[in-house]
Amino acid sequence: MQFGIIGSGSWATAIAKILTDSKHTIHWWFRDANSIRHIQQRHHNPHYLHSAYFDPALLMMSTDVNEVVRNCDVVVMAVPSAYITDALKDLAKDALKGKKIVSAIKGILPETNQLLNEYLAEHFDVSIENYYTLLGPCHAEEVASEKLSYLTFSGLNEAAAAEIAAHFRTEYLNTVTNHDINGVQYAAVLKNIYALGAGIAHGLEYGDNFLSVYIANSADEMVKFSRKVLHDFSLENSDINYASSVYLGDLLVTCYSLYSRNRMFGNMIGKGYSVKAAQLELNMVAEGYNASRCIFKTNENLQADIPIATTIYQILWENLPPEEGFKRIEQRLQ
C-alpha cells in the first residue's frame, strides 16, 4: 500500500514521521520547493517539528499534486481546512478515482461550509465508501517526541478502516476504529471552538473550577449537536461511545494542552487582543476561528441547542465583548 500526504505543516509532518517510522515510502506534496531541498539536505522540515528527522530514502517529495496522487493508493489530506481547496486546485478531476482518501483535517471548508467528504464528492466524484478519517487527541509535537498517542480511523467499512490503521501503528501510536464518519468530523470541528473558548476563559482569569464545568457542558453540547446531525442524516447512533478518545478525549486535550493553538488563540482574545492581532501573533491556523462561523451557519438549519458555541461565534465574528459573552455562558452552565 503506497501512501501520499497532501500538506507540509506540523500535522502533515507528524503523519509523515508515523508512516516512515513504520518503514513506508511516502509520496509527499509540498507547496514550496525550498522545503523539499532542506529536507533532502538536513533531513527535517525547516518550518515545523524540527526534532522529527527523516530517512530521505523513504521520501518521494514533489510540488506537483498530480504526481503525488498518481503514485499512491491512499491519499492523506493534512492541510488546514481553509487551504484545502487551494491545495487541490490543480488536481485533475479524475485523479482520485479508485484512491482511498484519509482526511486528517479538523475543520469545515469555510468557503463552502462543507465537510471534506462532501466537497470531494462534489468536485472529484469521491465515494463515501472510499473516504476515511484520521482523528483524535494527538498533538503533532507529542508525536514528534514519541509520546504515546491514540488515533481513531473512521470509515463505513470498519474492516477497511482497520486495514489502513494498521499501517500507522507504532510503539508510540495506538489505533482505534469506528464507523461514525460525520460525527467524528463534527466533533473535531466543535472541540476546536470549545478549546478557543477555554482559552478566552483563561485570558479572562477564570480558574480551573470554572473551566472544568465549562468543558463538561461543552462535551454535553457536542453530543447534542452530533446526535442531531446523525438524526438529520437518518444514521444510527445508538452504539456510539461519546466518552471515547475521538470525542471526549480530543475535547479535553485541546482545551487543556499548552500545545493547543486554539487555546492559545482564545487566550489572546480573552486578554484583549483583536482577532486580527491574535492571528498575526499566533502565526499558525487556529481552526476554531473559521469553525465557529461554519457551525453557526450549519446550525441555522439544524437548530441544535449549542449556546456555548454560539456565544464563541458572537465574540469572534459579531464583536461581542468576551466578558459579556462569558457572563452569558455562566448563566447556562450546569
Q: In this predicted structure, what is the pLDDT of residue 283?
A: 77
Domain end among 138, 164, 179: 179
- Write the pLDDT tens digit of every residue in 137-182: 989 999 999 999 999 999 999 999 999 999 999 999 999 999 999 9
Question: Domain range for residue 35?
Answer: 3-179
Task: Tell me if residue 100 falls in helix, strand or coil.
Answer: strand
- Could you say which residues of the chain have pLDDT below 70? 231-238
Written as one string, the DSSP assignment of 168-204 is: T-BTTEEEEEES-HHHHHHHHHHHHHHHHHHHHHHHT
- Cell of residue 3, nine digits: 501512501
Q: In this predicted structure, what is the pLDDT of residue 237?
A: 56
271, 202 contact by CB (below 8 A): no
Q: In this predicted structure, what is the pLDDT of residue 282?
A: 83
Task: Tell me if residue 57 falls in helix, strand or coil.
Answer: helix
Gyration radius of the chain's alpha carbons: 19
**Do 188 and 219 belong to one domain?**
yes
**Do 36 and 169 belong to one domain?**
yes
**Do 9 and 127 belong to one domain?**
yes
Domain end among 127, 150, 179: 179
Domain end among 164, 179, 194: 179
Check which CATH number belongs to the domain holding 247 and give it.
Answer: 1.10.1040.10
**Do 261 and 154 belong to one domain?**
no
Q: In this predicted structure, what is the pLDDT of residue 233?
A: 55
Q: In this predicted structure, what is the pLDDT of residue 232?
A: 55
**Do 49 and 155 belong to one domain?**
yes
43, 61 contact by CB (below 8 A): no
Other CB atoms closer than 10 Å to residue 283's CB: what's the count? 7
Q: In this predicted structure, what is the pLDDT of residue 238?
A: 60
Beginning with the edge strand found earlier in the chain, give each strand of the sheet holding 59-62 in spatial order: 59-62, 26-29, 3-6, 74-77, 100-103, 131-135, 149-154, 173-178
